[in-house]
Structure 1
Amino acid sequence: FQITTSAGWDGLLAPILNSKPPDCDPDKVNPGSSVKGDCGNPSVGIFFFV
């Protein structure tokens, strides 16, 4: 809903654009998943929102 009203869209996009420390932790353990880290992928994020 935030994206459709254009209010707060930057709050959803900012975490996706965090691609390296100190904004994210590439070694963070995610319980229940074999994927490590909490970094975003800017290319995928921009493609998704466009």
Structure 2
Amino acid sequence: LQPGDSKLWEAKETLSIYSGNAGGLTLAANGDAPAVMGEPGQPEEKLFSPQ
């Protein structure tokens, strides 16, 4: 993704999102408020399950 881009994913089971720069991504899932994925420059993986 480029700065300012957004993407919507849907999953029937678990969705895994990995970033090498977690501070560069803002995520919102299952109706939660958007939040920064992690620390700038740090790798991070998040797993989301449907509610």
Q: TM-score, normalised by structure 1?
A: 0.21
Report the structure number with the largest CA radius of gyration. 1
Q: Which structure shows the higher strand fraction?
A: 2
Q: TM-score, normalised by structure 2?
A: 0.20
Higher relative contact order, chain-length normalized (CA < 8 Å, sep 6+):
2
Q: Which structure shows the higher helix fraction?
A: 1
